[in-house]
Amino acid sequence: MTEQAPPPSAWFFLLLAFVGGAYSAALSFRLLSYLALSMRRPRDLHRLYGAWAVVTGPTSGIGRSVALELARRGLNLVLLDLDAANLEETSDMVMSRHGVETKTVVFDLSLVGTARGTVPPPRLATHGHLHQLPPLLESWLSGDESMRRLRAAMEGLDVGVLVNNAGVARPSMVYLHEADVEALVRMVRVNLWALTEVTAAVLPGMLERRRGAMSHRQHGLRVVGGHPLLPTEHRLRRHQKVRIAIST
């Protein structure tokens, strides 16, 4: 006769019951959280943060959807994009659908911090003679024309929301010697430098009013934790992974 295996002890069934109960509780919690979020009354962004929002890259994709949603929630928009025609079309659509005010700024983010597209270079006067400044100092003193126009557009506005959506995702997973270096530099300027400049232009007003919110979107980041062929994007992700809310 073959011996029968002893029945499992009671603790084994208790362990299975505990694991099953914990899993069911976790699923129930996620479902209830989703239902609560879906049924929650939308926040009044105008009251919480301010009357205006700045959105970069609002003419297509996620940026367009964000701009339309903010307008639907009652916020006026300052829209920044490179393509003037698409920018005007998006502005007209936002105003016709939701009846809010819009301002548009044609803005090539890849030129932020460069001497191109700036105001005429200043000259240095010494002993009655005008001398051209060194190129680097000239770039800093002349300032970036796009940033000047952005600050002019925001002057006097209660800007409470900033969405840094514009970005460049290419070149992607390539070795440095195979990539277009100018394209990599453009990626850094758009995704990092311009993001910092636009944020620096908006943030002082938020701090002064003691309220505001901002979101920086990541671009072209498909590998969690970085990748040897994505060093630039990985560092941009570290810099961009920011969501700030300022309130009293």
How confident is the model over 162-184, as pLDDT tens digits? 999 988 777 667 777 777 777 77
Residues 6+ apart with CB under 8 A from 163: 53, 54, 55, 56, 63, 66, 67, 70, 214, 215, 217
DSSP category for residue 194: I
pLDDT at position 2, please?
A: 61
* Fold that domain 43-246 belongs to in CATH: Rossmann fold (3.40.50)
DSSP category for residue 171: S
Instruction: Number of helices (H) and strands (E) in the chain: give both, helices first.
Output: 9, 8
Q: Is the pLDDT of residue 135 over 50?
A: no
pLDDT at position 14, please?
A: 83
Top mean pLDDT of 14-28, 133-147, 182-196 is at: 14-28
d(CA 216, CA 163) in angstroms, rounded, equals 6
User: 7: pLDDT confidence band, cut at 50, 70 and 90?
Assistant: low
Query: How is residue 10 written in tokens?
Result: 């009671």
d(CA 206, CA 172) in angstroms, rounded, equals 35
Q: Is the pLDDT of residue 50 over 80?
A: yes
d(CA 39, CA 19) in angstroms, rounded, equals 30
How confident is the model over 195-242, as pLDDT tens digits? 888 999 999 999 999 999 998 876 554 444 445 555 444 444 444 444
DSSP category for residue 61: H
Q: Where are the domains of the chain?
A: 9-40, 43-246
Residue with the two structure tokens 């100018």: 182
pLDDT at position 236, please?
A: 43
How confident is the model over 181-194, as pLDDT tens digits? 777 778 878 888 88
d(CA 138, CA 122) in angstroms, rounded, equals 7
pLDDT at position 208, please?
A: 92
**Which is more confidently placed, 243 or 36?**
36
Contacts 24+ apart (CB under 8 A), 222-231: 227/173, 229/172, 229/173, 229/174, 229/175, 230/172, 230/173
